[in-house]
Amino acid sequence: MTTVLRLDGVDRSFGDRQVLKNVSFDVVAGRMTGFVGGNGAGKTTTMRIVLGVLAADAGRVTWRDAPLTRQVRGRFGYMPEERGLYPKMSVREQVVYLGRLHGLTAEAARRSTDALLERIGLGERGDDLLETLSLGNQQRAQIAAALVHDPEVLVLDEPFSGLDPMAVDTIVAVLRERAAAGAPVLFSSHQLDVVERLCDDLVIIAGGSIRAAGSRERLRAAYTTPRYELVVETDAGWLRDQPGVTLVDLDGARAVFDLAPGADEQVVLRTALDRGPVRAFRPIAPSLAEIFREVAK
Ligand SMILES: Nc1ncnc2c1ncn2[C@@H]1O[C@H](COP(=O)(O)OP(=O)(O)OP(=O)(O)O)[C@@H](O)[C@H]1O
C-alpha cells in the first residue's frame, strides 16, 4: 500500500493555545480515510494545513515523499468547511469556472461538469442560481466543485453534513468510485455511522492529538474486547459464572458478553451446548462509536 499524503509531527497554535499537537498520519492510495473527532478536536485546522490555507508551526506535510507545493495542491480536490461557492451564480457556470481555474479547457470543464451534475442528482438544476437550491443540494454542488478537475486526492471537510440519506448514498458511491480509480479520499465527519460504512482507514483525533490511526479492522481488533451474542432456549444467566465472561446484556435466553483475553469462546459454546440447544452464537463487531468512546476519552 502506497502512502501518498503524509503528515509528520504537525503542531499549530492560535495565540497561546496549542490546537494541534504532533499530528501524524498517512493517507494511502486508493483508500478512503475517515478523519473523526468531536467538536473543536482539530480536524478543520489539520485539513487547512494540508491544503496550505494555514501554515503549520512545526512538522511537515508531504506528497509522495516530497514537500507539498502549490502545483501539487492544484491537483487536490478540496471542500472547505466554509464552502465558498457563489450564491448568485448558476451551479453549472461556477463548477465549469472552477474546472477552468484548475486548468481544464472550456470543453473539458463543461463535459466534466455535466457528467458530474447528472451523477450527483443535480442534472436538472444546473442552470439555477446556487442560492435557490436547498442546503442539501448546495452541498451536492460543493462536491461537484471539488471533483470537477478529476483531482488526484480529495480532502473534504464534513462532506455529509446536511445531506439526506439518499444524498449520502449517492455521494458515498461517487467517492468510492474515485477512490477505486486511485484518488484517495480524506474526509472529516462526526457522523460515525457514515464513516463506519464508508472508510477503509480511520484517524481519530481528540484535543488536537491523534489517538488512533489505521485500518478499520485493525482498530476494531486493537481497541475492543471480543464480544459475542449467545441465544439459547432457557435462561442464559449461568454465563455469569463462566470464567473469563463479563455479561454486557442479559435478556432471558439471549445474552451479550465480553470475553477476557486468552479465554476461549469455544469453551463457552460447548458449555452452552451441554445445557441444551443453541439458537445463535456469533461475534459482534464493535461499532465505530464504541472505538471512538474508548480512544477519545
Ligand atoms: N483561526 C482561529 N483562531 C483561533 N482559534 C482557532 C482558529 N481556528 C480554530 N481555532 C480553535 O482550534 C480548535 C480546533 O478547531 P477546528 O475547527 O480545527 O476543530 P474541528 O475538529 O474541525 O471542530 P468542528 O467539528 O467543531 O468543526 C478549536 O478550539 C477552535 O476554537
The domain locations on the chain are 4-221, 225-296
Atom number in ligand 1 closest to CA 48: 18
- The mean pLDDT value for 162-182 works out to 90
> By the 8 A CB rule, do 205 and 7 touch?
no
Q: How far is CA 133 from CA 81, 121, 130, 158, 236, in A?
A: 18, 12, 6, 19, 55
Confidence category of residue 63, pLDDT binned at 50, 70, 90:
very high
Q: Look at ligand 1, atom 7, and give the residue with the nearest C-alpha.
A: 14
pLDDT for residue 231: 97
Cα 77 to the center of its chain, rounded Å: 16
Determine the Cα–Cα distance for residues 70 and 151; give it in Å rounded to an integer.
14
Q: Give the pLDDT confidence of 232-245 residue by residue, as tens digits.
A: 999 999 999 999 99
| pLDDT exceeds 90 at position 246 | yes
N-term to C-term CA, the chain: 30
Mean pLDDT of 116-128: 93
The predicted pLDDT at position 252 comes to 94
281 torsion bin: left (phi>0), alpha (psi -120 to 50), beta (else) = beta
Does the domain at residues 4-221 carry the CATH identifier 3.40.50.300? yes
Q: Which of 23, 39, 44 to mutate to test the pocket of ligand 1 (most atoms within 8 A of CB)?
A: 44
* Ligand 1 geometric centre to CA of 144 (Å): 26
Q: What is the length of the chain? A: 297
Query: How much distance in Å is there from the Cα of 241 to the middle of ligand 1?
Result: 49
Ligand 1: residues with CB < 6 A are 14, 19, 37, 39-45, 190
- pLDDT of residue 8 exceeding 80: yes
pLDDT above 90 (res 57): yes
Sheet holding 76-79, edge to edge: 76-79, 153-157, 185-189, 32-36, 201-206, 209-215
CA–centroid distance, 4 to ligand 1, in Å, is 26
Question: What is the C-alpha separation between 120 and 106, in angstroms, rounded?
Answer: 21
**What is the DSSP code string of 276-297?**
S-EEEEEEEPPPHHHHHHHH--
* CA distances to 118, 136, 163, 228 from 91, in Å: 12, 13, 17, 50
| Contact criterion met (CB below 8 Å) for 58 and 20 | no
Task: Read off the pLDDT of each residue in 182-194 and give the average, rounded to a whole number.
Answer: 88
Nearest protein Cα to ligand 1, atom 23: 40
Residue 266: how many other CB atoms lie within 10 Å: 8
Q: What average pLDDT does this structure show over 54-69?
A: 93
Q: Is the pLDDT of residue 191 over 90?
A: no
Closest-CA residue, ligand 1 atom 25, reads: 39
Whether residue 40 contacts residue 227, with contact meaning beta carbons closer than 8 Å, is answered with no
Mean per-residue pLDDT over the chain, rounded: 91
Among 43-47, 63-67, 78-82, name the one with the lowest average pLDDT.
Answer: 78-82
pLDDT for residue 268: 95
Cell of 241: 459464572
- pLDDT above 80 (res 23): yes
Between the CA of 76 and the centroid of ligand 1 the distance, in Å, is 22
Asked if the model's pLDDT at residue 86 lies above 90, the reply is no
Residue ID of nearest Cα to ligand 1 atom 5: 14
Give the residue whose CA is nearest to atom 2 of ligand 1.
14
Lowest mean pLDDT among 30-44, 111-125, 222-236: 222-236
What type of residue is 59?
A: G
What is the CATH topology of the domain spanning 225-296?
Alpha-Beta Plaits (3.30.70)
Report whether pLDDT(147) > 90: yes
Say whether pLDDT at 192 is over 90. no
Distance from the alpha carbon of residue 135 to the mean position of ligand 1, in angstroms? 23
Q: Is 104 helix (H, G, I), strand (E, B) or coil?
A: coil
Confidence of residue 187 (pLDDT cuts 50, 70, 90): very high
Please report which residue ranges of the chain form alpha helices under DSSP H.
43-51, 70-73, 91-101, 106-119, 135-147, 165-180, 192-198, 216-223, 265-275, 288-295
How far apart CA 142 and CA 140 sit, in angstroms, is 5
Does the pLDDT of residue 279 top 80, yes or no?
yes
Percent of the chain predicted with pLDDT > 90: 70
pLDDT given for residue 219 in this prediction: 86
Least confident among 21-25, 153-157, 159-163, 224-228: 224-228
* pLDDT higher than 80, residue 209: yes
How far is it, in rounded angstroms, from Cα 137 to Cα 155?
A: 20
Q: Which of 281, 271, 201 is nearest to 238 (CA)?
A: 271
Contact 47, 188 (CB under 8 A): yes
